[in-house]
Amino acid sequence: MSRYIPINAQDALDKLKAKKKQISIGLATIAALLILFFVFFTKSSEIPECQDCKSYGPLKPAYKGSLDLIFENKDYQLSVIEKLAGAIRIPTQIYDETPPPDLSIPLKDDPNYKNFSLLHTYLESTFPLVYSKFIVEKINGAGLLLTWHPKHIPKDSKPFLLMAHQDVVPFDPSTVSRWTYPPFSGHYDKKTDTLYGRGSTDTKKLLISHLEALELLIAANWEPSKRPILLSYGFDEERGGIDGASAIAKFILERYGPDSIYGLIDEGGETGYLGDNGFIGSPVTAEKGYLDAIITLNTKGGHSSIPPDHTSIGIISELNYLLEKNPYDPSIAVNNPALEAVQCRALYDKSFFGDVTKGFKSGRLGKLTNAVNNHLGYRYFFRTSQAIDIIKGGVKANALPEQVTVLVNNRININSSVNETLVHILDLVSEVADKYDLSIKLERSSNASELKSGKNGEFVVVVRGELEPAPISPTAGDEMWEIIAGTIVNTYSSSFFGNNTEVYVAPSLTTGNTDTKYFWDLTKRIYRFSGSLHVNGSNAHTVDEKTTGKSIISCLAFVYQIIGNIDKYT
């Protein structure tokens, strides 16, 4: 595509460093022509061009060290797979109702967290060099914060932070027979290069890759030259990080202050395989917002032989019907990073949906909106979702239901807000309340207010877990972003991935949330990307969660390089 301006990441970094040098007249002229060209060709399109896709060359590793060992030595690779299998065999399940660790007793005696204590012991014995170099702090009982700050690095140097989580989604015992191997067996099938088990993909693969990369680096006497390295491992990401990452983030904020972290990388995006077309790495630079609306309707009870025309269940059904009849409008914000990810695929992945590709080619946002709306995999990148997930009401065949409750879960589009979402819900509640003369009470962070009063009963709308969409992390032109991009290209250009060396990079968005939501005050450079090769059917959160040796090694190779690159090139 002629409209793409390839940038070599190495050159780009050199340019960043050489900013103060005078730009020659020749270069300025070329730049001006390029800008004119760009403006001329894009003004007719409502859809911005990809900034990033195909823009980066491989970034030469600042420290190559053991990279060949990682990519080429089969015995070494098996030893890494075995280290991950060992971590999978320790079931660190976290349930929604698990209480926080009991800080009055040792972790190993806390029935809910005994296994986390076992995992800590396992990590310490498996990565002795990391545990000797880093200061290891337990935060809120089971959280781990590891710090490596060599003496020669100035106190005020901003640390680089790597994150993952120790907990896994519980497995449902009723599904045990559907697992090819038991969920915590950590079974590795050499023939298919598949490692089975809960946590294999979400996210012990990343946790073990961090520690293994650092173990290798320390063994070779590498040490950071400019920035301290922090590792943060929460213990309840899978129920929102309320006791784990939230406490670690608070601890870091108290120790270092606001905006004190250089940048962070947590779980999130991966690298997709486009068949003959190459690979696409998608670091996630934005996260949708969140809101649960728990809507209860209280009405008069009575004998069900003389019912009113509408019971509370009937009325709330009308609300459910209205909610689903009025979904949120799709709206493609031009700064939505998913636009880049989808556009990059539409251009370079030949198996991609034709109508989405046509939408991009048309340059018309309306046409593109219709096209992405028809694909479940992409629809919710560009609009607020709603799902009526829970309904409860009624107790007896001959008694009118006095109370019924529904829970509506919403993931908020990145150019929308908690307020806009709540207004949408309350508008529909009001419509029903007006029709049946019902009151509406809103409860938000323990504040209750009556929005409307009625005679026949009361809606109580409780707002839970409200979270605005995340700030969007910087991409093209940002030093850390360009290092990540160049590192992705270098990793996937390795012959380990075959001779297919086309590697694309595009930012993306997650429709879910990660532990990073507690770190907004610490840095604007928040990237959610494990570096690993995406595995088809890795089944995160469900039966037969699995990964491959290849995916583990790709994750390790990326992490190994990014540690050296961030230290050297920033």
Binding region for ligand NAG (CB under 6 A) = 91, 93, 112, 115, 273, 275, 331-334, 351, 415-416, 419, 422-423, 426, 445-447, 498-499, 536
Among Zn ion, ligand NAG, none, partner that 398 touches (CB below 5 to 8 angstroms by kind): none
Provide φ and ψ at 232, rounded to 5°: -125, 120
Instruction: Please report which residue ranges of 221-336 form alpha helices under DSSP H.
Output: 245-256, 312-325
Residues 67-126 that bind Zn ion (CB under 5 A): none
CB 497 to Zn ion: min, Å: 24
Q: Give catalytic status of residue 243 as yes or no.
A: no
Task: Say if CB 557 and CB 70 are below 8 A apart.
Answer: yes
Q: 565 touches which of ligand NAG, Zn ion, none (CB within 5 to 8 A by kind)?
A: none
541 annotated to a ligand binding site: yes
The rounded Cα 321 to chain-centroid distance in angstroms is 31
Whichever of 126 and 203 has its CB closer to Zn ion, that residue is 203
Binding partner of 91, given ligand NAG, Zn ion, none, CB within 5-8 angstroms per partner class? ligand NAG
Q: For the beta carbon of residue 28, count every other beta carbon within 10 angstroms.
A: 11
CB of 553 to Zn ion, least distance (A): 20
Q: Which does 104 bind (CB under 5 to 8 A by kind): Zn ion, ligand NAG, none?
A: none
Q: Burial code of 331-363, b = ≥16 C-beta within 10 A, e = fewer? A: ebbeebbbbbbbbbbbbbbeebbeebbebbeee
Q: Which does 446 bind (CB under 5 to 8 A by kind): Zn ion, ligand NAG, none?
A: ligand NAG
Q: Is 238 known as a binding-site position?
A: yes
Separation of alpha carbons 552 and 382, rounded Å: 31
Out of 52, 110, 202, 212, the residue judged to bind Zn ion by CB under 5 A: 202
Residue 415 binds what, of Zn ion, ligand NAG, none (CB under 5 to 8 Å, by partner type)? ligand NAG
Least distance in angstroms from the C-beta of 63 to ligand NAG: 26
Q: Which two tokens stand for residue 79?
A: 């030893």
Of 414 and 526, which has the nearer Cβ to ligand NAG?
414
How many positions of this chain bind Zn ion (CB under 5 A)?
3
In the complex, the smallest distance separating the C-beta of residue 362 from Zn ion, rounded to whole angstroms, is: 37
Is the CB of 128 or the CB of 366 nearer to ligand NAG?
366
Q: Measured in whole angstroms, how far is the alpha carbon of residue 17 from the centre of its chain?
A: 31
424 is in an annotated binding site: no
CB environment 107-144: b (16+ within 10 A), e (fewer): beebebbebbbbbbeebeebbeebbebbeeeebbbbbb
266 is in an annotated binding site: yes
Q: Least distance in Å: CB of 203 to Zn ion? A: 4
Report in angstroms how near the CB of residue 192 gets to ligand NAG at its nearest. Answer: 12
Q: Is 203 in the site for Zn ion (CB under 5 A)?
A: yes
In the list ligand NAG, Zn ion, none, the entry touching 422 (Cβ below 5 to 8 angstroms by class) is ligand NAG
| Cα 376 to Cα 401: distance, rounded to the nearest angstrom | 36
- The 10 Å Cβ neighbour count of residue 286 is 22
Q: Find how far residue 205's CA is from the centre of its chain.
A: 15
Alpha-carbon separation of residue 559 from 304, 319, 552, 565 (angstroms): 64, 49, 11, 10
Q: Which is nearer to ligand NAG, 59 or 332 (CB)?
A: 332
- Minimum CB distance to ligand NAG, residue 300 (Å): 28
Q: Considering CB distances under 5 to 8 angstroms, the limit depending on partner class, which of ligand NAG, Zn ion, none binds residue 333?
A: ligand NAG
- Residue 515 touches Zn ion, criterion: CB under 5 A: no
User: Where in 157-210 does DSSP place strands (E)?
Assistant: 160-165, 188-189, 194-196
Which one of Zn ion, ligand NAG, none interacts with residue 331, CB within 5 to 8 A by kind? ligand NAG
- Given the residues 49, 52, 110, 167, select the one marked as catalytic: 167
Nearest alpha-carbon partner for 210 in 348, 87, 343: 87
* Among 564, 506, 478, 527, CA closest to 13: 478
Segment interacting with Zn ion, rule: CB under 5 A, options 74-82, 195-203, 374-382, 555-563: 195-203
Q: Would you say 267 or 287 has its CB closer to Zn ion?
A: 267
- Main-chain dihedrals φ then ψ at residue 291, nearest 5 degrees: -165, 125
Strand partners, 450: 441
Question: Looking at beta carbons only, is 461 or 526 nearer to ligand NAG?
Answer: 461
The answer to whether the peptide bond before residue 203 is cis (omega within 30 degrees of 0) is: yes
* Tokens 């080429």 found at: 72
500 — alpha (psi -120 to 50), left (phi > 0) or beta? beta
CA 570 to chain centre: 24
Least distance to ligand NAG from the beta carbon of 86, Å? 13
Which of the ranges 143-151, 177-185, 199-207, 451-459 carries the binding residues for Zn ion, by CB under 5 A? 199-207
Q: CA-to-CA distance for 336 and 415, rounded, in angstroms? A: 8
* Residue closer to ligand NAG, measured from CB, 238 or 482: 238
Q: Is 237 a catalytic residue?
A: yes
CB-nearer residue toward ligand NAG: 85 or 252 = 85
The stretch near Zn ion (CB under 5 A) out of 14-22, 31-39, 267-275, 368-376 is 267-275
Pick 107 or 400: Cβ nearer ligand NAG: 107
Q: How far apart are CA 281 and CA 272, in angstroms?
A: 6
What single-letter amino acid sits at 204?
Answer: K
Q: How far is the CB of 96 from Zn ion (least distance, A)?
A: 15
Sheet holding 188-189, edge to edge: 188-189, 194-196, 546-548
Q: Is 202 annotated as a binding residue?
A: yes
The one catalytic residue in 212, 236, 237, 468 is: 237
C-alpha distances out from residue 399 to 300, 303, 394, Å? 11, 5, 8
Beta bridge partners of 448: 443
* Residues of this chain that bind Zn ion (CB under 5 A): 202-203, 267
**Which residues participate in the annotated binding site?**
165, 202, 238, 266, 541
Q: Kindly list the catalytic residues.
A: 167, 237
**Which residues participate in the annotated binding site for Zn(2+)?**
165, 202, 238, 266, 541
